[in-house]
Amino acid sequence: MMSESGSSVTVSAQSVWSALISIIDQPQATLANLLAFPRRQWLLPLLLSLIVLAISVTLTAPYSSELVRAAAERQWQSLGLTPAQVEDARAQAEAFTSPMAVAIQGVLAGGVGVLILWVLAATLLHFAALIAGAESTFAGVFTVFAWSSLPITLRSIIQTIYILVSQTFPVYPGLAALQVSGDTVQDSTNPLIALLRYADPFWLWHVVLLVIGLAVAAKFTKMKAAMLVLFYAVISIGISVGFTLLGRVMQSGG
């Protein structure tokens, strides 16, 4: 396979299991192989992402449950409820704030969120590539996005292990940890934390793989692919910071 930049990549049939290793040290050749022999190549990274998500949410559910209950307690206090009313509200909320309930809700919401995010991101990149003159297909771009998301899955594994060992929750990725105040409600509406969480080696690895994979899938130079991925990155960061600012406004209004 020949790119616009003139570099050639030899493609050959490759097991998706071996691709999990070779994508680390031979990302361009690995992604070229995956795209040259399409057999639902996106399925393995998607399943790994969902499985890791389910395990992580379940194992950290006791910590998440405590945060949900604490947030509910603060809300009840801000409403000026009497002790009897707070007790009634606490009993009614138990079914939704228990570790098991939080785990089920987290797995379902997280799983749907991953699917929506991947489809939207791949759609954005696919149409941007078409506008730029690509010869790619949506399936190819989706496959690239799926495999480029493996660093995010790896980060989830590491974070989950760290939470269980240190009993620290939540864990903020990248430079966002430098801005954490300890107040989870305040931190959740801090736009600087939302921005700095992207200054993370795993997310940057994801971006690098996207550039390499998109260059192969769209038959672009890496520079051209990098411009499209930069567009995707700006949109992603902007949405994250925007929702955080919206949460701050809503909290202030409440």
Q: What pLDDT, on a 0 to 100 scale, did the predictor assign at position 12?
A: 67
In a domain, 1, yes or no: no
Domain membership of residue 134 as a residue range: 16-253
User: What's phi and psi for 199, nearest 5 deg?
Assistant: -85, 65
Q: Which residues of the chain have pLDDT under 70?
A: 1-13, 38, 253-254
In a domain, 157, yes or no: yes
In a domain, 121, yes or no: yes
Q: In this structure, are residues 44 and 21 in contact, taking their beta carbons and an 8 Å threshold?
A: no
Alpha-carbon separation of residue 90 from 70, 75, 81, 98 (angstroms): 11, 11, 12, 11
pTM: 0.88
For the chain, what is the radius of gyration of the CA atoms?
A: 21
In a domain, 2, yes or no: no
Q: In this structure, are residues 147 and 23 in contact, taking their beta carbons and an 8 Å threshold?
A: yes
Q: What pLDDT, on a 0 to 100 scale, did the predictor assign at position 117?
A: 96
In a domain, 188, yes or no: yes
- The structure tokens listed for 194 are 């939302």
Q: What is the pLDDT of residues 201-247, one digit of tens each?
A: 999 999 999 999 999 999 999 999 999 999 999 999 999 999 989 88
Instruction: Measure the CA–CA gap between 74 and 69, rounded to whole angstroms.
Output: 9
In a domain, 241, yes or no: yes
CA atoms within 13 A on the CB side of 234: 6
Q: What pLDDT, on a 0 to 100 scale, did the predictor assign at position 67?
A: 87
How many domains is the chain built from?
1
Residue type, 89: A
In a domain, 4, yes or no: no
In a domain, 6, yes or no: no
Residues whose CB is less than 8 angstroms from the CB of residue 148 and which lie 6 or more positions away in sequence, other chains included: 206, 207, 209, 210, 213
